[in-house]
A and B are shown apart, each in its own frame.
Chain A
Amino acid sequence: MNSFLRRIDQWRLVLDPGAVPGMAVPGLIFADDYIESILKGEDVLSQVANVARLPGIVGYSMAMPDIHQGYGFPIGGVAAFDVSGGIISPGGVGYDISCGVRLLASKIPAEEFRPNADRVLAALFSAVPCGVGSVKDSLGVKELDRILEEGAVRVVRSGRGTEGDIRRTEEGGCLVGAEPGAVSPRAKERGKGQLGTLGSGNHFIEVQETEELFLPEKAASMGLSKGCIAVMIHCGSRGLGHQVCDDYLKVMRGAMTKYGIAVPDRQLCCAPVDSPEGRQYLGAMKAAANFAAANRQAIAEAVRDVFAGFFPGEKLTTVYDV
């Protein structure tokens, strides 16, 4: 594998076709010498090569500098597929569909926050349950379907948030074309009590201080002020998204024979984008992405409630959510 890897400049490596049989395009890895030294002991290059074998891949099987071994696809992997004749793979989208971040800016000076830090953090832990299986109030079937269809918009229109939140959320907080009916009852069972919960793993709520502004005017337009605190929220579609991925890995596995697709790793299971299975997965995936956006909106509101108790009158405005 390593003999097919060559450096083209200080920041990029190319994995030539031939590294594994059937690569339709080269691999392109954004890595300096240090990252390259880490890669050579890992199976992750095989994952980059395996993605390059998938039908309809365009350009390169790419990997960003955070590359490390994932599930079928490498973490940090990026691949584009031709909608005409190309495939869609739940493994490529990943288990935590639309895992993302939201940044909330404030005018609360960090020095005013610090004496309250312990109490604020305790209140945040109480207001936003964390850990796998953490739950809040359970949603009814109809309300969950509306969340899956409308995303963060549904939360805001229910009185939890502002139109500004929506304007500063990717895709306006709602992916058009979501199909709640394509999400399994099992996934909905997992998700119905998880709106407004953080989950586990690398998900977090972090209270940060803006120490330096490199572009003060642009920072001001985003509501960021030097010396003030900001809150970063990182989470996604929780158990609902995981279940969507798990469900459709099984669907795609069954569909591959039908479409004459063979993959070297079952986590690369896929179907043509423009097939009944592909379209159904897209509808479910968009619904899970909407759940993730709604989840971050609900968490943002819980965070605002906590801060309102300690810093009355101070607002936490959304810088961006993606």
Chain B
Amino acid sequence: MAWRLLEHTADAGFEAEADTLAEVFLDAAEAFLFLAAGLTPGDFPGSGEKSELFLSSPDGEELAVSWLNELLFMAETRSVFFLPVKVTVSLSPPAIAASGRTVPLNGRVLSVKAATYGGLVLRTSPRPFLRMILDL
């Protein structure tokens, strides 16, 4: 795990730092799963259907927010969580391609309403880093 929780007055946040932007986005998905449902990918051993996801945005910050909001959208509308296994991230132009598996939420309650731009930090050097606040 290469992310850590942040304290927040009313909501929740995390920071992720890794060698590559792709790893940061993978970590962000993991942090999101934990904050939304108290789960880790290890809670879904070997289950799920193969799935792919592609997103593009005008800039990197919006891409990061859209990435997690897309996971939330899938959870809300299809009752599944997308567990990314491989991610490719580009910032010129900003886009993400992810492959992984979707696992059923089986009625689990999510507590995150949205990924937000509040306090958002995305940087690529000296090491890729993402800080994000989630609206609970």
Contacts and interface: CB of A to CB of B under 8 A. Distances in A.
Contacts of A130: 109
Nearest to A94: B135
A95 B135 contact: yes
Nearest to B57: A250
- Chain A's interface size range is 20 to 34
A266 B73 CA distance: 22
B116 interface: yes
Interface stretch (A5-13, A29-37, A68-76, A281-289): A68-76
Interface string B92-136: 000000000000010011111110111000000000000001011
B30 to A, nearest CB: 18
A140 to B, nearest CB: 15
A138 B30 CA distance: 30
B135 to A, nearest CB: 6
Contact of B118 (A72, A133, A190): A72
Interface string B69-86: 100110111010000000
Contacts of B1: none
A124 B62 CA distance: 38
Interface of B: 9-10, 36, 58, 61-62, 69, 72-73, 75-77, 79, 105, 108-114, 116-118, 133, 135-136
16 contacts: A68-B9, A71-B118, A95-B114, A95-B135, A133-B76, A133-B105, A186-B73, A189-B73, A190-B76, A200-B112, A201-B136, A242-B114, A242-B135, A249-B117, A266-B117, A267-B117
